[in-house]
Amino acid sequence: MTVKIATAQYDISFLKSWSDYEQKINQWVQQAVEENARILLFPEYGSLELASLFPKEIYSSLEKQLSELQTLHERFVNLYQQLASQHNCYIQAGTFPVKLESGEYRNRAYLFMPDGSYDFQDKLQMTRFENEQWLIKSGTELKCFDTDFGKIAINVCYDSEFPLLARKQIEAGANLILVPSCTDTLAGYHRVKIGCQARALENQCYVVQSPTVGVASWSEAVDINIGAAAVYTPVDRGFPDNGIAAMGELNKTQWVFADLYLENIAKVREEGQVFNYRDWPLQSRFINPL
């Protein structure tokens, strides 16, 4: 089974109206589906450009922007729901900070399905910025999602740097992990990139990263954005020698496309030069209980 994926290097805009946002997202999605992409990936916190629709006293405040963004949450969900259905594709819409009834926030990554349904993965491992300044809390559940192309998992940015999360999803049947990311330093970008490549190597699976890019000086939350979108693979027979199927130009606004040959995942796990996926449990022989 083969499917084309599109992963975005997405710029944070200063918007004048909700219609501007709708038009922007429609153009991005249209461009991807014209290239026959069936899975589309947007970055973590790309939705924060919506804060520019509010007065300066709101978009310049970390606390106030989170609160006011909730007034646009339903529109956000409806927009991507409609686009996934209209174009018969799967859209991972990056993340949106969602306020729960308890008053706590979650960094929520929605996956929209072609049939109009949707589900989400909340970020599980929170960064210092989220913990100490933004007070966004960790999610409580690790998921996999059934699609026409097999099970798909989501690791939100920092989650990709923790191998046991991805391993649990792979053991649940996922062969593709989507990683929406948002990093404000080159080092941060490389941490996530290295995590993605390591997850693809050790699980012999596809891992796809989508970052925010460019400068949005008006925003305290996403003012500097550094990264390159990429599709990472196993490093073995039938895959690129460097484990990179496609990669964008650093900090350029663009889609990055790649064909995923999902049937080759099972093959490399059975016939590869090495058996990273199969040999994972053997590590436990060398680890003494503390």
Q: Which residues partner with 40 through β-bridges?
A: 6, 91
Q: How far apart are CA 7 and CA 211, in angstroms?
A: 9
- Residue with tokens 């016939």, as numbered in its chain: 271
Tokens of residue 246, six digits: 């496609």
Annotated catalytic residue, options 123, 161, 193, 196? 123
Q: How far separated are the first and last CA of the chain, in Å rounded?
A: 44
CB 232 within 8 A of CB 244: yes
Positive or negative, the Cα torsion across 112, 124, 161, 270? negative
Angle at 48 (CA atoms; ends 187, 185), nearest 5 degrees: 10
Of the CA atoms within 13 Å of residue 43, those in its CB half-sphere come to 31
Give the closest residue to 230 by CA, choosing from 216, 250, 213: 250
Of the CA atoms within 13 Å of residue 131, those in its CB half-sphere come to 8
Active site residue 44: yes
Active site residue 202: no
Tokens of residue 211, six digits: 């970052």
Q: How far is CA 227 from CA 14, 84, 92, in A?
A: 20, 26, 18
Annotated catalytic residue, options 89, 157, 182, 205? 157
CB 167 within 8 A of CB 204: no
Enumerate the active-site residues.
44, 123, 157
